[in-house]
Amino acid sequence: MLDLQSLPGLPRPERTAAVDSWLSGLLGDAVTGTPAPKQRRGGPPPRTGLDGLALVAVGSLGRRELPPHGDLDLVLVHEGRPEIAAVADALWYPIWDAGVRLDHSVRSIPEAVAVASTDVKAGLGLLDVRLVAGDADLAARLRTATLASWRQAASRLLPQLRDLRRDRARQLGELAFLLEPDIKEAYGGLREGQVLRAIAAAQLGDEPAAELEAAYSFLLDVRDELRRRTGRAHDVLVRQEQRPVADALGLADEDTLLREVSLAGRRLAFVADETWRRVEAALVRRPRGRYRRVRREPLAEGVVRQGDEVVLARDARPAADPGLLLRAAAAAARADLLLSPYTLKVLAVHSPPMPEPWPPEVRWSFLRLLASGRAAVPLLEQLDQEGLLSRLIPEWDRVRSLPQRHPWHRFTVDRHLVEAAAAAAELTRDVDRPDLLLVAALLHDIGKGWPGDHSVVGEPIAAEIGTRMGFSPPDVATLAVLVRHHLLLPATATRRDIDDPATIDRVAATIGHDPAALQLLHALAQADGAATSVSAWSPWKAHLVAALVARIQAKLGGGPMPEPEPVLEPTRPQVTAQAPDLPGATGAVTVGIEDVADGQQVTIGAPDRQGLLSTCAGVLALNQLDVRAAKMSVEDGYGTGVFAVRPRFGRAPVPEILADAMRAALDGTLPLAERLRQREADYRQDAVRSAPPRISWHNGEVSGAATGIVEVRAGDRAGLLYRLTAAITGEGLDVTSARIETLGADAVDCFYVCNPSGEAVDPDQRGRVEQALVAATRGAAEEGALAAGWADTPG
């Protein structure tokens, strides 16, 4: 009997052997326990025992890769056995009784071949057929027949297989760039290794090389350990299992594990892409008649186009031409082609070390490559996979396949840099120094490969690389500034009041009052955001950054300062509503709503009173509107708040509902705090978080002694803005504006506060504000936990 409890803990070879032995015994028992058929009159004697009967494994068991808690894929092959149905029943039922999942079939060789020639999945599985028990000759003939059928049907089945893999890639993404990848089905996963073997079996591709087999074997180890840890047939490497799996595999930590998974997945995906290109070329029907030579078209010195790829010219001398590598890559990118695999190997073996500093012709080729935009991305991946990119930029190895845990990021660090350079290529006509923009985009996050603030760490690294590339000292200094301050504009625009002269002065001083640096930083911010994700570079953020740049340009050029523009231009006229006047107050409550490209702009007017901004924020939160920016102004006792909002559930705000809610909240008939506490309990998604909030003050960054900025970083939750502004108001300070940003599950909220008395905020008052803000960041669940005595007090 198979010991299912100990089976997952066995190494793969022993696990496969144990299952094979168990199945072999089951087949023997099934044949022995089934009555032999009677001989037909005048016919040959019936076959007995295991003659003409074979139990074969396909799938993971056929490949000897059976994972813990894996299914058994079995085929009972027969030849002239009339009692086959009884034998099959006697074989399958003990497997089911043991609690093992089973995918089974009973086939003759012609039946198996017929299925394999029409069903791509069945054909793929039968390529892994392996004898478990029974007639070895029958199993060998089955394998020969299915292999011949696969090769014959390849022109029809392989396009189906390609489409299946592309669909899975669209659904699950690429293994190399996922924070929680599906080890088996994501593109570049285990399935790619199996597909590559199937293409080789069709004689349309090479057998996987040793390096590829090592990558595939590593992913098998990860998958096995993941299943062993979870006790389930589950192949998604979720975050909570990454550290235990890393420990079990002897890796330093979860980031090391994810990086190794990424490297393996990238290699499998890279070879799969190249193989599919060759398969598609081979399956194209060639015209009949005489063989025609493929035309060779010169593209650059020593580089020619041959068919749909770029190769070296016959007179090229890679060992004596250091510039040939980048010249070939640039020529291929400009023609929107790829280098041939053989050319890549030749360049990898024979290219000499690059002189330092780079000759001007080499630097020019590199810039031409980067300036090709999207066409450069697969070329840079080709150079990276052959180790050529690291020869040009040795620091690249530190960021290669380095995971980024931030939920905004779609890619590993190195791929993000390549994507940023591709995005920057679209902006080269907007700047005076496109060469510096392209290189800065490629290097802006290079510091993430070292400990510390990546902007600070990356500054000297970028300067060293720029010097090696042969840029002049002033250009190197500019590159260093761009890398050091590439987050300056978006961080300032989303967390500071861009209409405050102190904000403009600080940014201008940071960049040395240099208009050229400002121009490049603006383009770099756009490229960086586009390469990150839509969430990281929304129209709202793009508008804020552009508005900030316009104000700094006016400051540097001495021109008039642009008028305040809280959000984008409206896409439809403002819709307004008015509630009845409040008793004893001058002025009605009004609400105006304008659609903009990235949400809505809500303008709320009401008689001024302490905490008006907090009340507005509470009403908006109660109506499921996420606030991204807020500003309050008061004139003649009447307050006007302007809010950039986005509906949390896609429902546009209704001005009449907001106006009635504002009036009810102001006259006390709507208990905002209680209603928001209930809403948070209804929509709570996270458990109690142990990490305390982080609160910091930035009094030196604003105009006026009585004004300051308090920044709060805390877990995001419904009504957080209302609670924070109420806490600040409760300690005697007015909130004049707010910048709100959500980073994954955390909120970064910056509040401009002022003391109505005109005096500076003293340390005691600051301490009280901080305590109130800490209390405000606790949600209903945490308050209950604290009351029960089982949660730690943050701070």
The predicted model gives 292-318 an average pLDDT of 90
Kindly report, residue by residue over 585-614, the tens digit of the pLDDT. 567 899 999 987 678 899 999 998 888 999
Same domain, 150 and 194: no
Last residue of one domain, picked from the residues 122, 154, 186: 154
Query: Is it the case that residue 638 has pLDDT exceeding 80?
Result: yes
Asked if residue 161 belongs to a domain, the reply is no
Interior/surface letters 768-785, b for 16+ CB within 10 angstroms, e for the rest: bbbebbbbbbbbbbbeeb
Pair of tokens at residue 210 = 């040793």
Instruction: Pick 159 or 2 by higher pLDDT.
Output: 159
Both 373 and 483 in a single domain? Answer: yes
Q: Which of 557, 585, 602 is the last residue of a domain?
A: 557
Q: Mean pLDDT of all residues in the chain?
A: 88
Please check whether residues 713 and 672 belong to one and the same domain: yes
Q: What are phi and psi of 587, to 5 degrees?
A: 105, 140
Give strand pairing partners of 638: 607, 635
Please answer whether residues 593 and 602 qualify as being in contact, where contact means their C-beta atoms are separated by less than 8 angstroms: yes
Mean per-residue pLDDT, 764-792: 68
Q: What is the pLDDT of residue 780?
A: 47
CATH number for the domain that contains residue 679: 3.30.70.260
Query: Considering 88, 123, 154, which residue would you say is the last residue of a domain?
Result: 154
Rounded Cα distance, 301 and 186, in Å: 40
Same domain, 256 and 374: no
* Residues linked to residue 746 through DSSP beta bridges, in sequence order: 715, 743
More confident residue, 296 or 758: 296
Collect contacts of 671-676 with beta carbons under 8 A, ≥24 apart: 672/615, 672/618, 672/619, 672/622, 672/722, 673/618, 673/726, 675/622, 676/618, 676/621, 676/622, 676/718, 676/719, 676/722, 676/723
In this structure, which amino acid lies at residue 309? E
- Assess if residue 81 is contained within a domain: yes
Higher pLDDT, 45 or 727: 727
What is the identity of the amino acid at 80?
G
Reported confidence tier of residue 703, pLDDT bands at 50, 70, 90: low
Q: What is the DSSP letter of 65?
A: -
16 shares its domain with 76: yes
Q: Examine the domain organization and report whether 370 and 507 are in the same domain.
A: yes
The enclosing domain of 191 has a CATH number of 1.20.120.330
Q: Is residue 162 part of a domain?
A: no
Residues 629, 641 contacting (CB under 8 angstroms): no
552 with 584, same domain: the answer is no
Q: Are residues 521 and 609 in the same domain?
A: no
Question: β-pairing, 575-579 with 746-754?
Answer: unpaired
Residue from 771, 785, 587, 551 nearest 686 by CA:
785
- Helix, strand counts (H, E) of the chain: 29, 17
The pLDDT of residue 569 is above 60? no
In terms of domains, do 64 and 103 share one? yes
Can you tell me which residue has the tokens 């308050």?
A: 783
| 41 assigned to some structural domain | no
Residue 504: pLDDT band by 50, 70, 90 thresholds? Answer: very high
* β pairing state of 72-78 and 102-107: parallel
Residue 330's nearest CA partner among 371, 365, 293, 292 is: 365
pLDDT at site 564: 54
Residue 440 host element (H or E) = helix 434-443
Quick check: helix, strand or coil at residue 555?
helix
Task: Give all strands of the β-sheet with 589-596 in edge-to-edge order.
Answer: 575-579, 589-596, 599-607, 638-647, 625-635, 734-743, 746-754, 707-715, 694-697
Closest by CA to 682, choosing from 650, 649, 657, 718, is 718
| pLDDT-based confidence at residue 794 (cuts at 50, 70, 90) | very low
In a domain, 130, yes or no: yes
Q: Is 704 or 9 the better-scoring residue by pLDDT?
A: 9
For 213-226, the pLDDT digits (tens) are: 999 999 999 999 99
For residue 3, the model assigns a pLDDT of 79
Please state, in angstroms and rounded to a whole number, the distance separating the CA atoms of residues 155 and 285.
Answer: 10
Task: Work out the average pLDDT over 116-143.
Answer: 93
Whether 289 maps to a domain, the answer reads no
Reported pTM: 0.83
Q: Are 641 and 631 in contact (CB under 8 A)?
A: yes
Q: Let me know if residue 165 belongs to a domain.
A: no
Bond into 357 cis (ω within 30): yes
Residue range of the domain that includes 193: 174-283
| Domain presence at residue 566 | no
CATH number of domain containing 135: 3.30.460.10
CA–CA separation, 158 and 398 (whole Å): 38
Verify that 133 and 231 share a domain, yes or no: no
Q: What is the tally of structural domains in the chain?
A: 4
Is 369 found in the same domain as 484? yes
Q: Are 533 and 459 in a shared domain?
A: yes
